[in-house]
A and B are shown apart, each in its own frame.
Chain A
């Protein structure tokens, strides 16, 4: 009895592994009784089965996107063909508001954009504004700002470490890193009064000088942090699951990384030794004895190693800074920008007027513009300020490192599996507050 075969033109196939290891779809036919059987095909030919790709949406509310990020993935099975990120779900008009605030009033906003690195942002903004005003800060302020920025880098990397580990299923480092952060929160709180959103810097200085005993608290933290880092290192660095999930994932070569404008640990892991602290120094970073961590392959594992090493180098910098912290005033003695001491403002007429003008009107810089870049834990963070001589900037532009870094995720995620997308996203260390501003 001859069987009549007909090819069904709906995508009816069975997946099978071809000789080169890729998934091939073998089309099926049905004979007259409806039994399915594969059509024999010439090796190497692939039937046009129509697209079997799925378009799936991750976010904007999702536990593993580190904020309100929406990723639209085109998947072929588990493999990502294309990844399109959508941002803007946390756009709060920072740059617009900056045009309606005095230069000192902008400082609380700098806390809230990259909220994991608030002290770093405060200081980066103060550096930019001080350049615009033409002010040189005091030596004590310079060293103290280095301490604050490095501490801020450490706690930002601790969050990164905890959340990346949790994304890959390692729950415990999250608790360790957040416990270390609590020590630093205590330090911030005793110094400026706030745990997270510090608003610690002012144009020309800092909000307050250190309380007594602060340095001892800091030294205690510097003794306990390396132990936590070692513990986490022992748990993760040579862990088969960790290595298997991170090595070779999300690779960016050096040339690509530069062209995509990546900065920070992503760029350094790709093998480009660009660190703003070394190449465009500020706050006397060139006078400290420390190294940059540079990776070789540009994958997620290298980024992890770079960030771990950065934390240790930050400890080194802070120890040197503590040793050289000079006494002296913390604020520059410039009545155009710094408020007079309270007892003078309440007793002397001149100080009272000067206090009044600074609070009501705000300090006014000369006409001009400047861009000062700093190395935030995410990358090159710069503030571009344009002034027209009034007390509010014409333009306050935040150069967001995480924004530019995230735009490369489509390049990084192509060809990887769905679960790798989560790992790659975690390795970029995004903070939506900074990306969306």
Chain B
């Protein structure tokens, strides 16, 4: 079994990476993938920024899956590693919600940040990139849990950090208070009422026998594929 070496697609004469020093706040060389993206996707690519040595590209949120597929598969890009999927909501509540994807190309030793805005007045929906990177599975579930963004095409979009019937909302939104919306005693009652072993997803309960043992209302809900845990 051969070893996969990062930087394999770079020419042999490329020097090894060094610790960056005196990185400027703005300016510097942009990631070459930006040009490639503009050529490939044209108007779907918005502005780009180089800040603290990192390139951020703004992408049309409806085209994100194609962009990710191209970034992963194109031989000039080869962004094979998904680092992170997250979202940012600014303190100025008029600004839209930003989705952030961090991808890394191991063969080319590049790092790219992709951003897309989601209008808070409309439904927060984005195509899931789980078919592109399996790493997105849990990362997107967490964004759903914390921000309420729905990822269409995700195999199992449920809350991951809070319990599935958590009713207070999506914690990392700026209108969610630090201590939660309910009083401490109410939070405690709701938490104690949740049966820690009762929540199984449809995926887990595809075993026929176990399904018949569930209470009737849960069976009906699961059979109708109603997602639990949303507000």
Contact = CB atoms under 8 A, between A and B. Distances in A.
Contacts of A217: none
B208 A96 contact: no
Contacts of A84: 201, 203-204
Interface in B8-63: 16-19, 21-23, 25, 51-52, 54, 56
A70 B197 CA distance: 9
Contacts of A280: 17, 109, 111
A259 B80 contact: yes
Nearest to B139: A404
A380 B83 contact: yes
B113 interface: yes
A281 interface: yes
Interface stretch (B117-125, B129-137, B215-223): B129-137
A271 B86 contact: no
A134 B25 contact: yes
A70 B163 CA distance: 13
A286 B1 contact: no
A143 B1 CA distance: 36
A60 B109 CA distance: 39
B102 A51 contact: no
Interface stretch (A107-115, A317-325, A369-377): A369-377
Interface string B183-203: 000000000000011011101
A258 B109 CA distance: 14
Contacts of A132: 52
Contacts of A283: 19
A104 to B, nearest CB: 19
Interface bracket on A: 35 or more
A63 to B, nearest CB: 18
Given A96-B172, A285-B19, A297-B1, A55 B210 contact: yes
Contacts of B161: 87-88, 91, 436-437
Contacts of A254: 1, 4
A271 B200 CA distance: 35
A367 B174 CA distance: 18
Interface stretch (A14-22, A198-206, A392-400): A392-400
Nearest to A408: B134
B19 A368 contact: no
B217 to A, nearest CB: 19
Contact of B25 (A51, A74, A366, A394): A366
A342 to B, nearest CB: 31
A254 B81 CA distance: 12
Contacts of B171: 93, 96
A329 B136 CA distance: 43
A53 B209 contact: yes
A258 B4 contact: yes
Given A384-B84, A407-B138, A368 B204 contact: no
A294 interface: yes
Interface in A240-277: 254, 256, 258-262, 271-274
A384 B100 contact: yes
B19 A51 contact: no
A100 B178 contact: yes
A149 interface: no
A216 interface: no
A334 interface: no
B162 interface: yes
A294 B88 contact: no
Nearest to B138: A407
Contacts of A388: 90-91
Contact of A371 (B17, B82, B102, B205): B102
Contacts of A55: 200, 204-205, 207, 210
Contacts of B22: 136
B5 interface: yes
Interface string B135-154: 11111001000100000000
B229 to A, nearest CB: 11
A53 B207 CA distance: 7
A72 interface: yes
A8 interface: no
Given A279-B109, A286-B16, A382-B83, A50 B208 contact: yes
13 contacts: A55-B210, A86-B199, A91-B162, A132-B52, A134-B25, A259-B135, A278-B17, A369-B52, A371-B54, A382-B83, A406-B138, A407-B135, A408-B134
Given A261-B81, A394-B91, A437-B161, 20 more contacts: A57-B197, A72-B200, A84-B204, A87-B160, A88-B162, A91-B162, A254-B4, A258-B4, A261-B135, A262-B135, A272-B4, A279-B109, A281-B19, A366-B25, A380-B83, A382-B83, A384-B86, A388-B91, A395-B89, A411-B134
Interface of B: 1-7, 16-19, 21-23, 25, 51-52, 54, 56, 80-84, 86, 88-91, 100, 102, 106, 109, 111, 113, 133-139, 142, 146, 159-163, 171-172, 176, 178, 196-197, 199-201, 203-205, 207-210
The 4 closest A-B pairs by CB, nearest first: A261-B135, A88-B161, A91-B161, A407-B138
